[in-house]
Amino acid sequence: MSAALFSIDWAEWLNLALRWLHLTTGIAWIGSSFYFVWLDNHLKPAVHGAASGELWSVHGGGFYHNQKYQVAPPTMPDQLHWFKWEAYWTWMSGFSLLVLVYYLGARGVLIDPSRLALTQPAAIAIGLAALGGGWLIYDGLCRSPLAANPRLFGVVWFAVLVGAAWALCQVFNARGAYLHIGAMIGTVMVGNVFFVIIPNQRKVVAALKAGHVPDPALGKAGKTRSVHNNYMTLPVLFIMLSHHYPMTYGATRPWLVLALIGATGVSVRHVFNLRHKGRSGVAFMVLSVALALVTVAYVALEKSAAPAAGPAPTTYADVQPLFARHCTGCHAAHPTNPGFGEAPLGVLLDSYAHASAVAPRIKQVAVDAEIMPLGNTTGMTRAERNTLGRWIAQGTPP
């Protein structure tokens, strides 16, 4: 029994637990954010009482009557629910995953020697600086005169994120850069909750209990930050999924693809917000579709510009030494890499049949995205990747 316990891969189980927690709390946080924005946009003037707006709805076999007080109710209710732990646990679980996967495993999944030969501590320091610096820049913009112009504020903040994506793509592998932009956005979103929204709500509650009239500016600031979070949700959700889609971060300019997809997410979110207010949002629907098509077209054009296949056929005999040198240490029935007890994801590359069967996946991760071998510890060159690409493009000749 004790031997079995020692043989368990606790890091993988911890990874699974943290991902599950991150997904669960993220659903709770983003779901409540979407709901309250929807609720705000559907409120009608209250018929009776001091409420500034109200809404009747039906769900789950019952009727609900929501009332909103723009600043605060005349008296404090006996029970008051706070929406905060969903945000806090989403960030804590996400940051824990970042540490477990990208910081402890920095040499394999974050550092790309072909971009910058970083040490593990240096890579971690850059990553943490990006998270902290992102919050400081965003919060500074919110406290500047720029905040009075929401559209201009949005353009400037978007430009900051694109600039950060470009910079991180120069020092990290593209997948690691993407995840850090997501972590930056997530840190800003939870910072809004922790440093502004919840403290302002506490001040309003304290004022009511003391018999004072709450400052309306407190609620206005909280509402502004909440709306900002609402527009950042779809881009950050894409980044959470992006590592499954190498054609995005495997582009020649991955930061540009991320910018296009991020802009698409913001536009889609704006369509929902407009429709919640009873407006058609047709113009932004068209913009969303156009941005999506431009993204796909750009990635497709990049792929079409890849090196053409050579005149002579590339056979398995040409690529088998590449698999042996760079791949089968991990992707074999009995891996020689001490970090793996079995082939990752069950992918075997130790025979023609095995390699040919997963050729599209090889093209994605080794030829296009260049994320395999992990951290490129075996020093796979661009010429070798092109050879693999030619073999796959020619139908994997035996």
Q: Is residue 5 part of a domain?
A: no
Kindly calculate the radius of gyration of the chain based on its CA atoms and give it in whole angstroms.
Answer: 25
pLDDT of residue 311: 60
Structure tokens of 183? 């972590």
* pLDDT score at 168: 97
Q: Which of 252, 281, 304 is the last residue of a domain?
A: 304
Please check the confidence at residue 309 and state whether its pLDDT lies above 80: no
Residues 159 and 95 in one domain: yes
* Same domain as 140, residue 26: yes
The per-residue pLDDT for 134 is: 98
Q: Are 184 and 263 in the same domain?
A: yes
Q: Which residues contact 55 (CB under 8 A, 6 or more apart)?
A: 39, 42, 43, 44, 65, 66
Does any domain span residue 310? no
Q: Does 346 share its domain with 209?
A: no
Model confidence band, residue 180 (pLDDT cutoffs 50, 70, 90): very high
Encode pLDDT of 99-127 as tens digits: 999 999 888 789 888 788 899 999 999 99
For helices 85-97 and 174-191, angle between their N-to-C axes, nearest 10 degrees: 160
pLDDT band at 190 (very low <50, low <70, confident <90, very high): very high
Do 283 and 340 sit in the same domain of this protein?
Answer: no
Same domain flag for 262 and 366:
no
Mean pLDDT, to the nearest integer, of 188-209?
94
Q: Is residue 378 part of a domain?
A: yes
Task: Identify whether residues 260 and 354 lie together within a single domain.
Answer: no
17-64: pLDDT as tens digits: 999 999 999 999 999 999 999 999 999 998 877 888 999 999 999 999
Looking at 304, 332, 354, which one is the last position of a domain? 304
What pLDDT was estimated at residue 35? 93
Residue 322, in any domain of the structure:
yes
Q: 78-92, 154-168, 174-188, 325-339: which has the minimum mean pLDDT?
A: 325-339
Predicted local confidence at residue 213, as pLDDT: 87
Domain that holds residue 190: 10-304
Residue 336 lies in a domain: yes
Are residue 251 and residue 360 in the same domain, yes or no? no
Which of the four pLDDT bands, split at 50, 70 and 90, describes residue 183? Answer: very high
Q: What is the pLDDT of residue 308?
A: 52
Q: What angle do CA 179, 375, 253 make, to 5 degrees?
A: 55
Q: Are both 164 and 261 inside the same structural domain? A: yes
Please check whether residues 232 and 367 belong to one and the same domain: no
Backbone angles phi, psi at 119, to 5 degrees: -80, 165
The reply to whether omega before 360 is within 30° of 0 (cis) is: no
Residue 25 lies in a domain: yes
Domains identified in the chain, total number: 2
362 in any annotated domain: yes
Same domain membership, residue 118 and residue 40: yes
Q: What is the pTM of this model?
A: 0.83
Please, which pLDDT band fits residue 10 given cuts at 50, 70 and 90?
confident
Judged against a pLDDT cut of 80, whether residue 3 lies above it is answered with no
Contact 113, 107 (CB under 8 A): no
Angstrom distance (rounded) from CA 331 to CA 94: 29
Q: Does 351 share its domain with 374?
A: yes
